[in-house]
């Protein structure tokens, strides 16, 4: 795994004394054996208590995971030939998993954070009884998508969230909810020109370390400003094909699955936007552009129900003026907020806010409507 060390204050101090410092410091740590297994063939659950539900999402030892049934019995040949015939995998605590818990059948599941979309399944030939195993591109559980309102899936006729479902994109959407992210795929960094680091640095400097999308200045935090290839060709470094984007805006570009942005980094960008006057949305489209991608399902519900536009990334300070938390969405006049981080939620409650977790807000949406 990778341990993210926050040296932002050190780099900020260095930047005040001269040109921006590239602050991409990452400390590699040896993987635990079970981590490799989790990302490969998966781990069979022996105790249901090992699986934790965090804001409606599935978690194993602090990692976002999914569950699937490895044993396909006599239907394995059909599943290998036609993934639609296979058993669905789960990404949230949907009603199907809830029923499985009640029936005591949870031990049939394997937990993994492999985002390749290929699942190792096993079974037997129904004629000869001989064992068979292989990999199949199983489909996601529709109840899971509905439970999270993923990409507005709860809206009647919205089939695309299922038909075009991509695990990498899904895990990326909720990267703020977990401190550990799946490892990048082999070969993902291929395709860049050999001098890409210099090209990237020179381009960002030419733009004054300002995001060309949301306009936030990241001069003190250049690591949070990326250079995007507009046409998707990584070695096409013509100036007209480049665009400086903050990590948040970059992760929301099409075909950028796997660009995991931590909650700390998203909050840092949100805080800078607010300080610089760029985080007061006037409409819901701007809310989508500015808010954490993991809030998209909730935002779609708010739009459908005609709720008023909230503020995005509102800091909360204690009596001494020290920042103690952030509200992802805040309806300030009613003191109603949606928050990702648990500690932020507790502090907001102590300040008199009516606070909801992201999935709590979806599941108890009528309570938010009533509060507003």
Listed by start position, the domains of the chain span 2-27+189-257, 38-177, 274-371
Across the beta sheet with 311-317, the strand order is 311-317, 323-331, 336-338, 354-356
- The greatest distance separating any two alpha carbons of the chain, rounded to the nearest whole angstrom, comes to 76
CA distances to 26, 184, 190 from 187, in Å:
20, 9, 5
Residues 6+ apart with CB under 8 A from 68: 42, 87, 88, 89, 90, 109, 110, 112, 119, 138
Q: pLDDT higher for 254 or 326?
A: 326
pTM here?
0.81
> pLDDT tens across 227-249, in order?
999 888 888 899 999 999 999 99
Residue 128, CB-side half-sphere exposure with 13 Å CA sphere: 5
Would you say residue 4 has pLDDT above 90?
Answer: no
Residues 6+ apart with CB under 8 A from 40: 112, 114
Single out the residue of 366, 337, 363 nearest to residue 350, CA to CA: 337
Q: Please state whether beta strands 27-28 and 43-44 pair in parallel, antiparallel, or not at all (unpaired).
A: unpaired
pLDDT higher than threshold 60 for residue 188: no
The per-residue pLDDT of the chain, averaged, comes to 86
Angle at 54 between CA 150 and CA 122, to 5 degrees: 75
Residue 215, pLDDT > 70, answer yes
Average pLDDT for 144-163 = 89
Q: Which residue has the higher pLDDT, 15 or 268?
A: 268
Residue 185 banded pLDDT, cuts 50, 70, 90: very low
Kindly report, residue by residue over 310-357, the tens digit of the pLDDT. 999 999 998 888 999 999 999 999 999 999 999 999 999 999 999 999
Residues 88, 311: Cα–Cα separation, whole Å: 38
Q: How far apart are CA 327 and CA 130, in angstroms?
A: 56
- Rounded Cα distance, 25 and 6, in Å: 9
Calpha distance 148→94 (Å, rounded)? 9
Q: What is the DSSP letter of 119?
A: E
Is it the case that residue 146 has pLDDT exceeding 80? Answer: yes
Q: At 13, is the pLDDT very low, low, confident or very high (cuts 50, 70, 90)?
A: low
250 band by pLDDT with thresholds 50, 70 and 90? very high
Residue 24 has pLDDT above 70, yes or no: no
The average pLDDT across 180-194 equals 64
- At residue 17, the pLDDT reads 47
Q: Please state the rounded mean pLDDT for residues 241-264.
A: 86
In DSSP terms, 28 is beta-bridged to 2
């Amino acid at each position: 795994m990778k341990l993210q060390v926050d040296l932002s204050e050190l780099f900020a101090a260095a930047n005040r004394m001269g040109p921006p410092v590239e602050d991409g410091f990452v400390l590699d740590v040896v993987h635990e054996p079970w981590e490799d297994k989790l990302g490969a063939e998966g781990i069979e659950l022996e105790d249901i208590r090992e699986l934790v539900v965090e804001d409606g999402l599935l978690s194993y030892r602090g990692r976002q995971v999914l569950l699937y049934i490895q044993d396909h019995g006599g239907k394995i040949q059909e599943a290998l030939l036609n993934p639609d015939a296979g058993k669905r995998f789960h990404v949230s605590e949907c009603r199907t998993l809830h029923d499985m818990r009640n029936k005591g059948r949870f031990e049939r599941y394997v937990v993994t954070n492999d985002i390749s979309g290929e699942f190792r399944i096993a079974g037997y030939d129904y004629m000869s009884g001989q064992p068979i195993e292989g990999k199949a591109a199983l489909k996601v559980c529709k109840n899971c998508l509905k439970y999270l309102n993923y990409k507005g899936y709860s809206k009647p006729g919205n089939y695309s969230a299922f038909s075009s479902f991509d695990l990498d994109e899904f895990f990326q959407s909720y990267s703020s909810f977990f401190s550990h992210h799946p490892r990048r795929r082999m070969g993902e960094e291929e395709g860049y020109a050999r001098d890409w680091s210099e090209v990237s640095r020179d381009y960002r400097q030419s733009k004054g370390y300002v995001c060309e999308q949301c306009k936030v200045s990241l001069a003190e935090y250049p690591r949070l400003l990326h250079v995007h290839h507009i046409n998707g060709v990584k070695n096409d470094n013509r100036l007209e094909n480049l665009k400086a984007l903050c990590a948040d805006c970059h992760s929301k570009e099409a075909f950028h699955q796997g660009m995991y942005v931590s909650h700390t980094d998203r909050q840092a960008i949100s805080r800078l936007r607010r300080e610089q006057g760029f985080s007061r949305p006037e409409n819901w489209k701007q809310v989508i552009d500015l808010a954490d991608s993991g809030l998209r399902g909730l935002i779609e519900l708010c739009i459908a129900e005609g709720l008023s536009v909230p503020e995005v990334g509102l800091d909360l300070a204690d009596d001494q003026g020290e920042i103690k938390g952030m509200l992802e969405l805040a309806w300030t006049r009613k003191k109603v907020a949606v928050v990702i981080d648990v500690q932020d939620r507790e502090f907001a409650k102590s300040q008199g806010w009516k606070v909801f977790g992201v999935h709590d807000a979806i599941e108890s949406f009528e309570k938010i409507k009533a509060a507003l």
